């Protein structure tokens, strides 16, 4: 069941120009859907994508924080680099 087939119990008002309204209306007619469906379907698709991307970013941030919270012990190679003074010369 899509969000558009659920009971519509909220109103969303949009301000636009008459030219944009006519264009949206014409495009909806050509698609064979009402203007609400024409506007809402791509908007909802985009909204879901944005929310999903943010969830991924949050989980990536949590993974990074977890990794930084438990740093590995320095390796012999790192000790060697630090003892050569390579970083102090920059």
Structural domain boundaries in the chain:
17-83
Q: Which pair of tokens denotes residue 49? A: 């994508």
pLDDT at 50: 93
- Alpha carbon separation from 68 to 59, 63, 72, 77 (Å, rounded): 14, 9, 9, 20
Q: Residues 48-53: what's their mean pLDDT?
A: 92
- Alpha carbon separation from 38 to 2, 47, 51, 80 (Å, rounded): 14, 15, 21, 63
CB 3 within 8 A of CB 37: no
Helix (H) or strand (E) holding 20: helix 18-31
Q: Which pair of tokens denotes residue 53? A: 């991307």
pLDDT at 1: 45
Q: Residues 38-54: what's their mean pLDDT?
A: 94
Confidence of residue 83 (pLDDT cuts 50, 70, 90): confident
Helix (H) or strand (E) holding 74: none
């Amino acid at each position: 069941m899509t969000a558009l087939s659920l009971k519509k119990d909220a109103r969303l008002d949009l301000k636009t120009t008459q030219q944009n309204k006519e264009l949206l209306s014409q495009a909806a007619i050509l698609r064979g859907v009402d203007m609400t469906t024409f506007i809402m379907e791509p908007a909802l698709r985009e909204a879901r994508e944005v929310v999903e991307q943010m969830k991924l970013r949050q989980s990536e941030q949590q993974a990074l924080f977890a990794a930084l919270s438990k740093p590995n012990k320095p390796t012999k190679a790192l000790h060697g680099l630090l003892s050569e003074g390579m970083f102090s010369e920059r």
